[in-house]
Chain A
Amino acid sequence: MVKDILEKPESFYEIFERKSGSNKLTTHYCPGCGHGVIHKLIAEAMDEFGIGDRAVMISPVGCSVFAYYYFDCGNVQAPHGRAPAVATGIKRAIPDSIVISYQGDGDLAGIGGNEILHAANRGENITVFFVNNAIYGMTGSQMAPTTLIGQKTTTTPYGRSARNEGYPIKVCELLSSLEAPVYLERVAITDAKNVMKVRKAIRKGLQNQIEGKGFSLIEILSPCPTGWGMKPVDAKNWVDEVLMKTFQLGVFKDKTAEAAPEIIEQKEFTSDEILKILGASKNGSDFLYDKPEVKINYQNPRIKISGFGGQGILFLGQLLSQSAMRSGYYTTWLPSYGPEVRGGTANCHIIISNNRIGSPLGAETDVLIAMNLPSLDKFENDVRKDGLILVNSSLISRNVKRNDVEVLYVPATELADEVGNTKVANLVMLGAYTAKSKIFSHDCVLFTANETVKKKEFLKVNEEAFRKGMEYVLNNKHKKIKNTIL
């Protein structure tokens, strides 16, 4: 198809609304930057193949991180170097999408070296545009894995030496040793002739994906006038005269002709099968419990649970959130913990509400469940006036200092010991909180606990612990609760 007019491709937004600042018609790229040309060629190909509506561009870190300003298609931002993994996920979840990974050399060959290697080795049906300018352009011209021997950058002021920094990585050559990739070509943004080769390669890469043939990577040598400290025309010539000496253009692998299109089996699930997988029932009513009447002070609680890792803090939060779901509330569960599983500190923030929840993290807390002393020390002052604090008095030797809040001292760990397992202190606390707030029916919590606990031998001890906690609160009702030890 030969067009009579060459103009801005329709796969670009007409006005770059997402771009900050007042100039919404030009790109943020420097004069003479290769990205602009490559963008234009990709957009043109997207126009021609008519894939704008199903294309998803992955833009990880680099100047092109803002590709979503310009392309009128789906976009997912990926962490540095991780675009191939994100692309894999999207392609597998939505096989009909056209997934384009747009990566720079620092991104793809540096931090993301492992990602691209394995995506290529799996032969993912994605198209990777690898923009190689031999430098970390965005961050200020540091040495990249593709920097030439002798090339001066801000981190190799005397020029890259093989002895100190190793040799430039040739990605196409490296990947061509793998079985799976279908199409690997290196092209360059220099004169019109080479730009046309880039155009052709971009089309081929996308065509391969549309036809389901497999992994294509097009390495594009691209000028970075600013990073190289050159005028745009000189930078273009430098690609031609210097960069192309090390990175020779050409096709490194092309199995396009013989590659068989991947046939994706779309398994059809019946609605019964889906319900079974999700563990749901047809109308959900089997699992729904009525919301009890809740005192105003206990309604819509923002709950903080905190303690040692291993005390079941996060699990207690899950039980609260899941019970809330089964009772028809809106709910969020936001965990926060260190890298250690046991022995560190863990806390989580749960919101249970009759209304939709804007943020899972509130500035204030209505209910604090403190399972150990550091937790009480840390979060006591975050509780709102007239809020509720449940203190695990087995492990916390002091009283709550504030006198404008309601406090329940529950010897949760000791009660858990009484049922024969110290670890179920969290279930004791769950019982205590449920009995106090009456926010869910007891049946609902027990049902949720039974559904959630994986090891069925713990069901009985969990239930006993829960009842212990409940009974403890109910039996001590007559005593003065406000800030005294029960």
Chain B
Amino acid sequence: MSELNLEMVKEDPNPARKKHNARVEIDGALCKECLLCIEACAPDVLKVSETLNKMGYHPVEYIGDGCTGCGVCFYVCPEPGTIKVYKKIKAA
């Protein structure tokens, strides 16, 4: 059983934005700026930050809304602890 709803992945599934109660948290200190998540994100809600982290990378950040909670970014991210996806917003 896949935890990803692949239907969501194909096209921007969320043109209206904010319909989904989901969000993504990115720990900027752990991001190595490989940009695989940005490339994979269908609703295109991730961007590169202008700040630098301690490793010298510009970490990726969430633009703040539009996340569908599909989890693709989590699975393509090679760092274990960088991305955390809340599929429903009720989780604090």
Give the B-binding residues of A (Cβ under 8 A): 1-9, 12, 23, 25-27, 29-37, 39-41, 43, 70, 191-193, 195-196, 199-200, 225, 231-233, 236
Tally of contacts, chain A with chain B, CB under 8 A: 108
Q: List 6 A–B pairs whose Cβ atoms lie within 8 Å, in order of A's numbering.
A: A7-B85, A31-B32, A31-B34, A192-B40, A232-B35, A236-B36
Q: Which 8 A-B pairs have the closest CB atoms?
A: A36-B78, A32-B34, A232-B34, A31-B32, A31-B34, A6-B85, A6-B74, A192-B72
Main secondary structure of the interface of B (DSSP, over half): loop
Is the pair B77, A5 in contact by a Cβ cutoff of 8 Å? no
Interface status of B50 (Cβ within 8 A of chain A): no
Is the pair A6, B80 in contact by a Cβ cutoff of 8 Å? no
Is the pair B87, A32 in contact by a Cβ cutoff of 8 Å? no
Q: Which residue of B lies closest to A43 (CB)?
A: B80
State the CA gap A30–B79 with chains docked (Å).
Answer: 10
Q: Give the most central of A43, A195, A199: most B CB within 10 Å.
A: A195
User: CB-CB < 8 A to B75: which residues of A?
Assistant: 6, 37, 40-41, 192, 195-196, 199
Interface status of B16 (Cβ within 8 A of chain A): no
Is the pair A6, B84 in contact by a Cβ cutoff of 8 Å? yes
User: CB-CB < 8 A to A5: which residues of B?
Assistant: 84-87, 91
Is the pair A8, B81 in contact by a Cβ cutoff of 8 Å? yes
What's the minimum C-beta distance from B75 to chain A, rounded to whole angstroms? 5
Is the pair A8, B80 in contact by a Cβ cutoff of 8 Å? yes
Interface status of B45 (Cβ within 8 A of chain A): no
State the CA gap A389–B9 with chains docked (Å).
Answer: 79
Q: Which residue of B lies closest to A70 (CB)?
A: B80
State the CA gap A26–B81 with chains docked (Å).
Answer: 7
Is the pair B79, A36 in contact by a Cβ cutoff of 8 Å? yes
User: CB-CB < 8 A to B62: which residues of A?
Assistant: none
Is the pair A4, B86 in contact by a Cβ cutoff of 8 Å? yes
Q: A25-B30, A191-B40 are in contact. Are A4 and B91 (CB under 8 A)?
A: yes
Q: Which residue of A lies closest to B8 (CB)?
A: A192
Is the pair B36, A26 in contact by a Cβ cutoff of 8 Å? no
State the CA gap A29–B32 with chains docked (Å).
Answer: 10
Q: Which residue of A lies closest to B81 (CB)?
A: A8
State the CA gap A245–B3 with chains docked (Å).
Answer: 28
Q: Which residue of B lies closest to A13 (CB)?
A: B80
User: CB-CB < 8 A to A34: which residues of B?
Assistant: 78
Q: Which residue of A lies closest to B6 (CB)?
A: A193
Query: Would you give the 0/1 interface string for B1-28, flagging 1 where the beta carbon is closer than 8 Å to chain A?
Result: 1111010010000000000000000000
Is the pair A31, B6 in contact by a Cβ cutoff of 8 Å? no
User: CB-CB < 8 A to A23: which residues of B?
Assistant: 54-55
What's the minimum C-beta distance from A201 to chain B, rounded to whole angstroms? 12
What's the minimum C-beta distance from B43 to chain A, rounded to whole angstroms? 13
What's the minimum C-beta distance from A154 to chain B, rounded to whole angstroms? 23
Q: Which residue of B lies closest to A39 (CB)?
A: B80
Near A by CB (< 8 A), chain B positions 33-92 give 33-36, 39-40, 54-55, 57, 71-72, 74-88, 91
Is the pair A26, B79 in contact by a Cβ cutoff of 8 Å? yes
Is the pair B87, A192 in contact by a Cβ cutoff of 8 Å? no
- If A40-B80, A191-B40, A193-B9 are given as contacts, then 16 extra A-B residue pairs at C-beta distance below 8 Å, sorted by A number, are A4-B87, A4-B88, A6-B74, A6-B84, A7-B74, A7-B84, A9-B80, A12-B81, A25-B29, A31-B34, A32-B32, A32-B35, A192-B4, A196-B4, A232-B36, A233-B39
